[in-house]
Amino acid sequence: MSYRRRMETVTLDDVDRGLVHALQLDGRAPMRTLGQVLGVSENTVARRYQRLRTAGVLRVTGAVNGGEVGYTSWTLRLRTTPDAGAAVADALADRPDVSWVHLLSGGTEISCTVHAPGSAGRDDLLLRKLPRANRVTAVSAHELLHTFALPDGWGGLHCLSPGQIKRLRPPPPEGAGVPPEPADRPLLDALAHDGRASYTTLAKVTGWADSTVRRRMEVLRRHGTLTYHLDLSPAGLGFHSETRLWLTVSPAHLAEAGAALASHPETSFAVATTGGTNLTAMVNCRDARDFYRYLTDRVAGIRGVQTLESAPVIRTVKRLRRPAARP
């Protein structure tokens, strides 16, 4: 079954916006800490978080840092026959190694990201399964080379002061990554479902003591293996024009162009890639007119851009990766 959730459009006040920004910085920050930083009570923060989560606007997830365990990531662009787009998107969304599945344009184009632990998983999808799908008419695969912006760091709602940010930002990872062990799988699956699950809940899932769960999570996070992400719905926050961009940029200006895109508050994703186009991005605007202004005012001023393709998101089938199995 594909990744869908009930989602409402909500209006954010200053506390909500501060909470969203705070959870982008540290998705696992205690409610007490969040309340202290935002200047409200712990109960107020808890109620606001539950409201936004229940509305389908946000959730916090835990994930293994693919770079620390040798994963490679690819973005795929597929074209299908007119009757097949939704079914192919749903099939891709059911794969645990696929995230950010978007149905684009008139429903005949799909974009998604594949996280491959090795060449075998990548080749199985790209060389065997997709080419055999007779309703897939074209596939292009682009390895992600350098990240400029990721969705969980989207700056469209940033509002905290430098002092507040400093109080919330976790310390950088130390030392080499610690590879997850087979015994960690129930813990990681539970965190993928809910990155803010309590230690008591996680203890029941793993069969460990609360203190053991806490120590293991601290070790994995301290070494950069376990990361927390804020999964946001732009449409639920009033950004109804979500568009995928593919740009061809001269190599001399690629780093500059990627950094420029990442600096725009509209940009939630910007990555340099292999392929005929070498920079891809996702931008979030209030409506089509806002997107037009964005293209003509901001993107038009980026040096080195030679070509640009855009495709509106018709439906987001899946955002972050699901756990392999629900706890």
Average pLDDT over residues 70-80: 87
Contacts of 31 (CB under 8 A, 6+ apart): 42, 45, 46, 49
On the question of pLDDT at 35 being above 90, the answer is: yes
Nearest to 49 by CA among 81, 76, 82, 15: 15
For the record, the structure tokens of 309 come out as 């393709």
* pLDDT at residue number 121: 57
| Alpha carbon separation from 155 to 150, 232, 319 (Å, rounded) | 10, 12, 18
pLDDT in tens, 248-277: 999 999 999 999 999 999 999 999 999 999
pLDDT in tens, 139-161: 999 999 999 998 888 988 899 99
SS3 206: helix
Where do the domains of the chain lie?
14-64+154-232
Q: How far is CA 179 from the centre of its chain?
A: 22
> Are the CB atoms for 226 and 276 separated by under 8 Å?
no
For the chain, the distance separating the N- and C-terminal CA atoms, rounded to the nearest angstrom, is 17
Number of Cβ within a 10 Å radius of residue 221? 19
* pLDDT at residue number 321: 55
Instruction: Please tell me the distance from the alpha carbon of residue 225 to that of residue 68, in angstroms, as a whole number.
Output: 6
User: Strand ranges (DSSP E) for 175-322?
Assistant: 226-232, 241-249, 267-273, 279-285, 305-318
Average pLDDT over residues 191-212: 96
Rg of the chain over all Cα atoms, to the nearest angstrom: 20
The confidence band for 4, taking pLDDT boundaries of 50, 70 and 90, is very low
Instruction: Please tell me the distance from the alpha carbon of residue 170 to that of residue 161, in angstroms, as a whole number.
Output: 16
Strands 226-232 and 109-116: unpaired
Nearest to 30 by CA among 268, 152, 199, 155: 199
Q: When comparing pLDDT for 98 and 280, which is higher?
A: 280
Q: When comparing pLDDT for 314 and 3, which is higher?
A: 314
In the numeric block, the tokens 């959870």 are attached to: 23
